[in-house]
Structure 1
């Protein structure tokens, strides 16, 4: 049943933090330059940041969310609030800079939560550099009181953007297969949660086997997945905002591994038919299906390049599973993986620069990356068993499923340096993760802060 486990693979890549290659995020002042995050001889020295608890409703919990997000990124080391010398910061005043440099804080974040007349809350914050004694950022979000946790993720995103020059990824969600029960009586449900594992929601009841959930990168409310019943396999479209579910139709054979094109107009997937497995693509508007591969081997797990011009997929036509790339119309099929072992589950980075994969060899499974031409292969994580890499929306982190010997399958993350490896926030058993795009909404600017604003 677990075709995903039959087809698995690995690789790596070193992360570089480059202001020159970073795009200016919405709501950000284009001329601002990122603060320096040092990678010295491959060793990342986390940036020490003081995140004060916000004044107002859920202010303490808001601070906890921001600190947890930044810590998990591996770039930041939030200082213990018990070490803070200055307390009672308000948005109307700048910090007492020497009191923050005395504890080694390289940045200071503080803010407040204020109830409005319409019963929504304003979440305002300021970020300062205490060594240069100037303001780095100041913004305000407006949201319902119940959205405080999501606002914490959005604030963490803005800090991450300002300090590294890269887009954030905290205000996003993860789709996955939640597993429960025993090995002989396993229950699988489609589930979704915030990227840190909070607020899990179960979208199916467990009466079907769920496989290959995926987001549309064009619309984070639109997802797809495969459901296996007693006598059927179907690809479903599911809208998270409306709850509407529809099948893509009945196919002659078992369907698997669906994935949207990046503009949301097409769906690539595989069909097992007559002992053969090939890649197909469907135009979602017309529902017309076209066959892209025609080989007696197993061709599966298609993934579009960001510009939708190419598709990477897995094929064992050479004798063992390798990664192949073809044009979106199926022409120009060529192998790209060059190392030994079995390569599976390719996933093109949203940045377009890398392809993630699972690799099996030497009695272990690994998660790795390579360039689209197959060069630069590197392994990021290896273990007894892991599979199914999915990219964070900024293309700098990968989530995958990992299982220890005799243990349960859990969700894990790794960064592109391979040095920040940790279990994801969801505490239950889970597999086949899919990371959403960033969610919408941008903040308003509190103001540049006058003459104390940091210059470029």
Structure 2
């Protein structure tokens, strides 16, 4: 089991130190285009956040926490491929906790286009207060200024929240750093594999196990609007679909199914779980209403229908099926009507998942002795492959629909044997591909919605 962690953060949504804003944020010219394939990353300077008073806390000295916050923000932004961190060794101006306007002349020679300054303070209540400001160096204006209050141990989450604010202000897109990933952590030899449900921050920090490995777990999926996970387990070789609430740390059995069950996934409103159930060697798609536990069959075809995923408006479902002779992607209405095929390329298609933006469907494409991650529009047009490795599969979308995470198994012998699965991410351009750190082998990731931030 995992120990429950409080994630309370209170944000003061005010323009901090407005006296230093010499022009409105709307006049700032700095804007990052996230849709281009290859770009020159925007140089951004992020000095260590300075403590008002350097006090020792149970989580370390405030100066060390300030440095760590800066490092996490830098890592988050650089990981997008859109930003390049200016080397701190080149900094001319020393940033302090004093509420002063930066000396922009000291930052322009470093080619910095954006500057992030921050301060932190231990409040009498024992809470940590962190404030940051985003500056356009060229226009010499403050673009953003927000303060956050949280328990000291939550400093890393504050860094993710600030990263989201910076990313959103500079790109016009929602950030995805203050999120979590649930996945299957794998250990042991190939014949005696132990698979445990694990959860972590999107950058690989705060790794925690949710199950102990005493029974097999598969296909975890986050609710789109709650901190809940549904997953499949085999308890005493009997398939069960579970719900796990991260905040309350509670497991709940959705149902025991006499036959094989595959790939449970939430509806957009979180009130239903859709899955495929196998009976007499054939699988069809069913949906369970969570409040009533009523199960309704949606497909009834001799082919194998599996891996269903709702559109973000809940009106349509994409799934893969071999009803036409080979494994392809199909879309139907949410009630199971109007089934039509959307994939017509060479090869087979699997594990489709609808983008939270509604504009694309991601999938695994199998062909030419490779498994690759691709996307297409819901009508099947505009197919693009984003990866080209030996075995990439199981895509999951970031909440803003700009990044995909998946798991990659490397080829380790000439006979095609698979190596160790690891998590990777790629953006929609296909150019920014990165490995996500995990302590063990990892497969089948699922991205959470953004964590809630309390506003004042």
Conserved? CA contact 1:91–1:126, under 8 Å = no
**1:385 match:** 391
TM-superposed CA distance for 1:252, in Å, is 2.9
- In structure 2, relative to structure 1, the CA distance for the partners of 1:396 and 1:250 (3 Å cut) is same
**1:426 match:** 438
Conserved? CA contact 1:190–1:210, under 8 Å = yes
Farther-moved stretch of structure 1 (240-249 vs 31-40): 31-40
Conserved? CA contact 1:91–1:125, under 8 Å = no
**2:49 match:** 54
Conserved? CA contact 2:29–2:139, under 8 Å = no
**1:207 match:** 214
- In structure 2, relative to structure 1, the CA distance for the partners of 1:299 and 1:40 (3 Å cut) is closer
Secondary structure, aligned partner of 2:387: strand
**1:14 match:** none
**1:97 match:** 104
* Alpha-carbon RMSD: 1.8
Looking at structure 2, the residues matched to 149 and 34 of structure 1 have their Cα atoms a distance apart, in angstroms, of 30
1:196 aligns with 2:203: yes
- In structure 2, relative to structure 1, the CA distance for the partners of 1:91 and 1:296 (3 Å cut) is farther
Looking at structure 1, the residues matched to 309 and 82 of structure 2 have their Cα atoms a distance apart, in angstroms, of 29
**1:232 match:** 238
Farther-moved stretch of structure 1 (242-251 vs 31-40): 31-40
TM-superposed CA distance for 1:218, in Å, is 1.7
TM-superposed CA distance for 1:292, in Å, is 0.5
Aligned ranges for residues 345-360 of structure 1 at < 5 Å?
A: 345-360=351-366
- In structure 2, relative to structure 1, the CA distance for the partners of 1:101 and 1:442 (3 Å cut) is farther
Q: How many positions carry a matched residue from both structures?
A: 418
Conserved? CA contact 1:35–1:162, under 8 Å = no
- Alignment equivalent of 1:415, drawn from 420, 424, 427: 427
Aligned ranges for residues 306-455 of structure 1 at < 5 Å?
A: 306-406=312-412, 407-441=419-453
TM-superposed CA distance for 1:40, in Å, is 10
- With normalisation by structure 2, the TM-score equals 0.89
Looking at structure 1, the residues matched to 423 and 393 of structure 2 have their Cα atoms a distance apart, in angstroms, of 10
Conserved? CA contact 1:34–1:165, under 8 Å = no
Secondary structure, aligned partner of 1:60: helix
Aligned ranges for residues 271-310 of structure 1 at < 5 Å?
A: 271-310=277-316
Secondary structure, aligned partner of 1:248: strand
Looking at structure 2, the residues matched to 117 and 393 of structure 1 have their Cα atoms a distance apart, in angstroms, of 36
Secondary structure, aligned partner of 2:363: strand
TM-superposed CA distance for 1:229, in Å, is 3.3
Q: Deviations over 1:26-77 (max 9, x none)?
A: 9599984783225797322111100010012101111110000001011111
- In structure 2, relative to structure 1, the CA distance for the partners of 1:38 and 1:280 (3 Å cut) is closer
| Moved segments of 4+, more than 4 Å | 26-34, 38-41
| Structure 1 residue runs without a partner (length 5+) | 1-25, 445-456
**2:4 match:** none
Secondary structure, aligned partner of 1:71: helix
- With normalisation by structure 1, the TM-score equals 0.89
Looking at structure 1, the residues matched to 186 and 14 of structure 2 have their Cα atoms a distance apart, in angstroms, of 40
1:244 aligns with 2:250: yes
Farther-moved stretch of structure 1 (172-181 vs 418-427): 418-427
TM-superposed CA distance for 1:215, in Å, is 0.5
**2:150 match:** 143
Higher RCO (CA 8 Å, separation ≥ 6 residues): 1
**1:42 match:** 37
Conserved? CA contact 2:198–2:210, under 8 Å = yes
- Alignment equivalent of 2:165, drawn from 152, 158, 182: 158
**1:184 match:** 191
Conserved? CA contact 2:421–2:443, under 8 Å = yes
| Structure 2 residue runs without a partner (length 5+) | 1-11, 16-23, 52-61, 413-418
Looking at structure 2, the residues matched to 182 and 252 of structure 1 have their Cα atoms a distance apart, in angstroms, of 29
**1:18 match:** none
Looking at structure 2, the residues matched to 34 and 298 of structure 1 have their Cα atoms a distance apart, in angstroms, of 53
Q: Deviations over 1:178-213 (max 9, x none)?
A: 000110111100000000001111000101111110
- Alignment equivalent of 2:269, drawn from 263, 270, 278: 263
Looking at structure 2, the residues matched to 331 and 170 of structure 1 have their Cα atoms a distance apart, in angstroms, of 38
